[in-house]
Amino acid sequence: MSKIGWNNKKAKLVIANWKMNPNTASEAKDLFLEIKERIAGVRGVSVVICPPIVFLGELRRLYSGSRISFGAQDVFWEKKGSFTGEESPSQVKSVGASFVIIGHSERRALGESDEEVSRKVKAAAAAGMRVVLCVGESERDQSGKYLAVLERQLKNSLEGVSASRAGNLLIAYEPVWAIGKSANEAIDGAELHAMTIFLRKILVSIFGKKKAFQVPILYGGSAEPGNVENLINFGEIDGFLVGHASLRSKSFGEIVRIVSRS
Ligand code: PGA
């Protein structure tokens, strides 16, 4: 497993979620090499690339440094056996993934339940992976009901996860209404700050204060070069989960540089 710095309070984290992109292994290789080039020499930021799992092994082989880690976009909770189409934590680890995104809203939209998410979180954490648990409300309402929705989602997704696993956990707050849009339609730093306090309080109620404060909180949802500075300076976050902007090496490189300066 590669060494990463997010336990270190000073190190921020920028995670690229490539989703089901790009089209071919050779395009994935090109994109990875371009990103590697763009972030060469940047300090104080750990970068994690989460490509489609089919490309992961090959990208891992292209890289021997420690600045970049790799992650999967999902994982199954069983260790092995007759589960066609699934991959276990040890399988994704064996091709180089030390992180795994679990409970992304796009998977939840395909039917993944909080219960399934919690089983995946437990299995991946037990296998020693760093789990990026995604939570986020679909929409907001004036009366603040979305806060209860979010609280329920976080608590249910962490059902049965023991405090001893908190060190494996990262939370990605990704309001669904902000995903795949543009910087000016995303949340702003002050609003994000309120949400990180809210999420931190829920984590404290689950894990206790000491452990809860060890869990990094990331933001995702149209994080772009145009808004990450405001979000990192005012949002009280530890980094970003970046979707569309991670498919353009220039934008992604800019995001990593801005975070390193902040
Ligand atoms: P976006 O995606 O940056 O394209 O909004 C973020 C995500 O879905 O993780």
Helix (H, G, I), strand (E, B) or coil at 167: helix
Prediction pTM value: 0.95
Q: Which residue's CA is the nearest one to ligand 1's atom 1?
A: 243
242 lines ligand 1 (CB under 6 A): yes
161 lines ligand 1 (CB under 6 A): no
Q: Is 2 exposed, middle or buried (0-12, 13-18, 19+ CB in 10 A)?
A: middle
In degrees and rounded to multiples of 5, residue 135 shows phi and psi of -135, 155
Instruction: Give the per-residue pLDDT at 2.
Output: 38
Q: Which residues are catalytic?
A: 104, 174
Query: Which atom, in ligand 1's list, is nearest to the CA of 134?
Result: 9
Q: Tokens at residue 251, please? A: 């934008």
pLDDT band for position 60 (50/70/90)?
very high
CA-nearest of 251, 150, 140 to 185 is 140
Is residue 66 over pLDDT 50? yes
Q: Which residue's CA is the nearest one to ligand 1's atom 6?
A: 243
* Gap between the Cα atoms of 162 and 261, Å rounded: 35
* Gap between the Cα atoms of 1 and 96, Å rounded: 7
Query: Which atom, in ligand 1's list, is nearest to the CA of 222?
Result: 5
In this predicted model, which residue has the larger pLDDT, 65 or 215? Answer: 215
* Gap between the Cα atoms of 46 and 22, Å rounded: 22
Instruction: Give the per-residue pLDDT at 9.
Output: 55
**What is the distance in A from the centroid of ligand 1 to the CA of 245?**
8
Q: Which residue's CA is the nearest one to ligand 1's atom 3?
A: 243
Measured between its terminal Cα atoms, the distance across the chain in Å is 27
Q: Tokens at residue 231, please? A: 């979000």
Mean pLDDT of 175-193: 95
Instruction: Give the per-residue pLDDT at 10.
Output: 61
Is residue 52 over pLDDT 60? yes
